[in-house]
Amino acid sequence: MANERTDLLQGTLELLILNTLARGPMHGYGIVQRIHEAAEDLLKVEDGSLYPALYRMEARGWIKSEYGVSENNRRARFYKLTRKGQTKLEAERANWNRVSKAVTRILQAT
Amino acid sequence: MKTILAKLFGNPYRKQIVFEIEDELHFHIEMLERKYVQDGMSAAAAKAAALRRFGSLEKAMKQCVDIRSRNSLRRRVLKASLIILGLIGLSIRILSTERNLDHMGDLLIMIAIAGRLLLYVRGLSPSTFLSGTDETCPSIVTPRDNSKLRGA
């Protein structure tokens, strides 16, 4: 099946990452897998684009990272949500709902 | 000459940053390979599929190193120190009544401005100006066949 590349709305990947990390600390691979599972293959984040987003979010203080041991006993960097990240997640969720509602209304009106 | 400049202005922690990022990205690719092998692929096919799914390793690596270097603790401490230095210079300039102290204040302000400019210039990266490298707008892949969407 052919796939189509689409650009996400700005900040969507951050929202998906924050939402995923709200479940608990995870390494980068775990985050992508969780997003893919939750989206049931309707949406796939490019794995390579995850890390710049994670590093940017860490610099902004939304998440923090520390080394831990992965399921295959390898040292891995685990990310977790900070208090600031939790607040950002709530704000972004509300914003997403507002935007999607507005776009749906416009599409239905035309 | 190049080596001397690199030693003078280079980031001594860059190697460590690069190593950590490389390790993290390779871990991701290893996990993908493992998953594909478990799904029944041969080792070679799994490696190729993992690299394909990951996308450009080089681009991800470069973006991560840039972000990490820009936001390193050392850099933040340096920025804060320069601001403090500038403020001390400004305070001396405002409060002092002696000419010699005025010069001292001017010197501190100049050092702070020059240092800040140097940090800014060093932080510039060509990728900042290139189109198509918008870090906040990554791509997603959606199936062309929309039957799943319709079913949802």
Residue A3 within a domain: no
Phi, psi of A35 (to 5 degrees): -65, -45
A48, part of any domain: yes
Asked if the Cβ–Cβ distance from A51 to B24 is below 8 Å, we say: yes
Residue B140 near residue A47 (C-beta atoms within 8 A): no
pLDDT at B149: 47
Those of residues 30-89 in B touching chain A at CB distance below 8 A are: 30-32, 34, 53-57, 59-60, 63-64, 67-68, 70-71
- pLDDT at residue B143 greater than cutoff 80: no
Is A85 a member of any domain?
yes
A78 occurs within a structural domain: yes
Residue of chain A minimizing CA distance to B143:
A3
pLDDT digits (tens, 9 = 90+) for A71-86: 888 999 999 999 999 9
pLDDT score of B21: 95
Residue A26 has what pLDDT? 96
Residue A4 inside a domain? The answer is no
- What b/e string do you get for A28-48 counting C-beta neighbours within 10 Å, with b at 16 or more? bbbbbbbbeeeeeeebbbbbb
Q: How far is B128 from chain A (nearest CA, A)?
A: 13
**What average pLDDT is seen over chain A?**
89
Residue B144 touches partner A, C-beta closer than 8 Å: yes
pLDDT-derived band at A92, boundaries 50, 70, 90: very high
Give domain status of residue A20, yes or no: yes
Domains in chain A: how many in total? 1
Q: pLDDT grade, residue B14 (50/70/90)?
A: confident
Select the more confidently predicted residue: A88 or B140. Answer: A88
Residue B3: CB atoms within 10 Å: 8
- Minimum mean pLDDT range among A28-37, A41-50, B93-102, B130-139: B130-139
**Contact by Cβ (8 Å): A32, A54:** no
| pLDDT mean over A22-39 | 94
Residues A94-104: tens digit of each pLDDT = 999 999 999 99
pLDDT above 50: residue B129: no
Domain with residue A43: its CATH number is 1.10.10.10
Complex prediction ipTM: 0.85
Question: DSSP string covering chain B, please?
Answer: -HHHHHHHHS-TTHHHHHHHHHHHHHHHHHHHHHHHHHTT--HHHHHHHHHHHH--HHHHHHHHHHHHHHT-HHHHHHHHHHHHHHHHHHHHHHH--SHHHHHHHHHHHHHHHHHHHHHHHHH--HHHHSTT--TTS-EEEEES-THHHHH-
Token reading at B67 = 């972000």
Residue in chain B closest to A48 (alpha carbons) equals B54
Q: Is residue A32 part of a domain?
A: yes
Q: Which residues pair with A75 in a beta bridge?
A: A69
Burial of A2 (0-12, 13-18, 19+ CB in 10 A): exposed
Q: Do B63 and A13 touch (CB under 8 A)?
A: no
Q: Which domain holds residue A52?
A: 12-109
Kind of pairing between the strands at A3-7 and B139-143: antiparallel
d(CA B13, CA A85): 27
**Is A80 among the domain residues?**
yes
A46 or B136, higher pLDDT: A46
